[in-house]
A = this chain, B = another copy of it.
Amino acid sequence: MDNPDGRRVFLDASGSAPMTPRTKEAFLAAIDEGWADPERLHHESRRSQALIDGAREAIAAVLRSPVERTLVVPTFGLAFDRAIAGIAAARRGRTRIVASAIERRPLLRIAHRSSSAVSLVPVDDDGRLDLEAFVQTLSGGDVSLVAVQHTNQEIGVIQRLERIHALATEAHLPLVVDATASIGHIDPPRDWDALVADPCDWGSPRGIAVLAFGAASRWSPVGPVVAGKVNPAVALAAAVALEEREEGRVEASTRMRRLTDRLRHAIHAISGAEVFGDSTISLPHVLSVAFDGVDGEALAAALDREGFAVGSGSACTTEPSPQSHVLAALGTVTLGNLRIGLHPGITDADVDSFVAALRKVLAGELARRPRG
């Protein structure tokens, strides 16, 4: 541990979270059981396949998706590809994809590749899809599919999928829902034709993503890249982690909502702070904030030295720009934001010590800032 003064506090649990003891135990037990290639014909292979099928069943039960249409692939990029390119390919002649302006960049990249045009639908100040603009962009008869996320991984906003799905269905368009930031945190969405989920986000070891198609969906199963096989032990661990999250979800989300509200108020009281999104329509565990004139990455690095891990920018060092396209879509320009994601192990004391460290670091950052 870098920080000799105390335990590190992990506040970047959006997209990854440490394994719980129960998940880790299941994972370790499955490692011995599920090492063989799941797609061959012998006993060792069937054992691997049984782990994967058990995981698919358990995950489908949570998603309320058809088991035989609930698939696991190694990465969420491959899941987006199968969903977007697969459905687009099954709707030949329709060459435009409609997506919200705050979809994840990997999904937008695949949409651009799978169509000749992508229409981005704007969002309001809280990040909610502009439904009037949405309806307008569906017309023309050239749209193959619609992609709207369940919640945003950066600002936490929850979309009104029931209305969005009804509008898409009325226009005879399938709705692909990116649920990579919501499953395990709030009620799974019910209104979708294809759904992508990211087990890392709920505390699974890395190496798996979930792709589900609705009972009536049509898609072309052959993508450009062979999806490849998941590690069967990872699949089992993903299912166990989800079951555990679901069992404790109502209690944990109530507690995390209280903690993020507390954070929201404490940060709001800091001069120059901007807190994004509206807590009444957001994920319980995610908060995105920026400080006027403060470089988000430098701030995250300083907090890291104090023992606190937080996300910054679009949360990924490989993104082409530190400026978040999500915040840009909200009409906000920042020098980079902090993304805070709580996991169930975070306590009131952690939040308090984080706020104290944030104040201390900001005082230092602001003191160093050149006067304009």
Among B12, B18, B76, contact of A42 (Cβ-Cβ < 8 Å) = B12
Which residues of B sit under 8 angstroms from A39, Cβ to Cβ? Answer: 316-318
Tell me, rounded to whole Å, the shortest Cβ–Cβ distance linking A300 to chain B: 5
Task: Using CB atoms, name the residue of chain B closest to A313.
Answer: B41
Please tell me how many copies of the chain the complex holds.
2
Contact mask for chain A residues 78-113; partner B; CB cutoff 8 A; 1 contact, 0 none? 101100000000000000000000000110011001
Asked whether A44 and B10 contact (CB < 8 A) given A39-B317, A207-B231, the answer is yes
Among B8, B40, B109, B297, contact of A317 (Cβ-Cβ < 8 Å) = B40
Q: Which of A220-228, A247-255, A355-363 is the contact stretch? A: A220-228
A18-69 at interface with B (beta carbon < 8 Å): 18-19, 24, 27-28, 31, 35-37, 39-45
Q: Do residues A43 and B2 form an inter-chain contact, with CB atoms below 8 A?
A: yes
**Does residue A175 face the partner (Cβ distance < 8 Å to B)?**
no
Which residues of B sit under 8 angstroms from A344, Cβ to Cβ? Answer: none
Asked whether A19 and B2 contact (CB < 8 A) given A44-B8, A44-B10, A309-B44, the answer is no
Q: In the assembly, what is the distance between CA of A343 and CA of B230, in Å? A: 22
**Does residue A127 face the partner (Cβ distance < 8 Å to B)?**
no
Q: In the assembly, what is the distance between CA of A43 and CA of B80, in Å? A: 29
Among B24, B35, B45, B105, contact of A18 (Cβ-Cβ < 8 Å) = B35
Q: In the assembly, what is the distance between CA of A28 and CA of B30, in Å? A: 12
Which residues of B sit under 8 angstroms from A42, Cβ to Cβ? Answer: 12, 300, 304, 309-310
Q: Do residues A226 and B77 form an inter-chain contact, with CB atoms below 8 A?
A: yes
Which residues of B sit under 8 angstroms from A43, Cβ to Cβ? Answer: 2-3, 8, 304, 309
A209-255 at interface with B (beta carbon < 8 Å): 223-234
Task: Using CB atoms, name the residue of chain B closest to A200.
Answer: B37
Q: In the assembly, what is the distance between CA of A40 and CA of B10, in Å? A: 12
Q: In the assembly, what is the distance between CA of A79 and CA of B43, in Å? A: 29
**Does residue A262 face the partner (Cβ distance < 8 Å to B)?**
no
Which residues of B sit under 8 angstroms from A200, Cβ to Cβ? Answer: 37
**Does residue A75 face the partner (Cβ distance < 8 Å to B)?**
yes
Asked whether A207 and B234 contact (CB < 8 A) given A16-B37, A37-B16, A40-B315, the answer is yes
Interface size on A, residues (CB 8 A): 63
Q: In the assembly, what is the distance between CA of A6 and CA of B299, in Å? A: 61
Tell me, rounded to whole Å, the shortest Cβ–Cβ distance linking A183 to chain B: 17
Tell me, rounded to whole Å, the shortest Cβ–Cβ distance linking A181 to chain B: 13
Task: Using CB atoms, name the residue of chain B closest to A15.
Answer: B37
Which of A2, A37, A312 lies at the interface centre, i.e. has the most chain B CB atoms within 10 A of its CB? A37
Q: In the assembly, what is the distance between CA of A74 and CA of B228, in Å? A: 9
Which residues of B sit under 8 angstroms from A207, Cβ to Cβ? Answer: 74, 206-207, 230-231, 234
Which residues of B sit under 8 angstroms from A311, Cβ to Cβ? Answer: 40
Which of A77, A78, A224, A225 lies at the interface centre, i.e. has the most chain B CB atoms within 10 A of its CB? A225
Asked whether A205 and B74 contact (CB < 8 A) given A41-B297, A224-B224, A226-B106, the answer is no
Q: Do residues B109 and A226 form an inter-chain contact, with CB atoms below 8 A?
A: yes
Task: Using CB atoms, name the residue of chain B closest to A109.
Answer: B226
Q: Do residues B77 and A312 form an inter-chain contact, with CB atoms below 8 A?
A: no
Which residues of B sit under 8 angstroms from A297, Cβ to Cβ? Answer: 41
Task: Using CB atoms, name the residue of chain B closest to A82.
Answer: B225
Q: In the assembly, what is the distance between CA of A106 and CA of B78, in Å? A: 15
A98-156 at interface with B (beta carbon < 8 Å): 105-106, 109-110, 113
Q: Do residues A31 and B24 form an inter-chain contact, with CB atoms below 8 A?
A: yes
**Does residue A330 face the partner (Cβ distance < 8 Å to B)?**
no
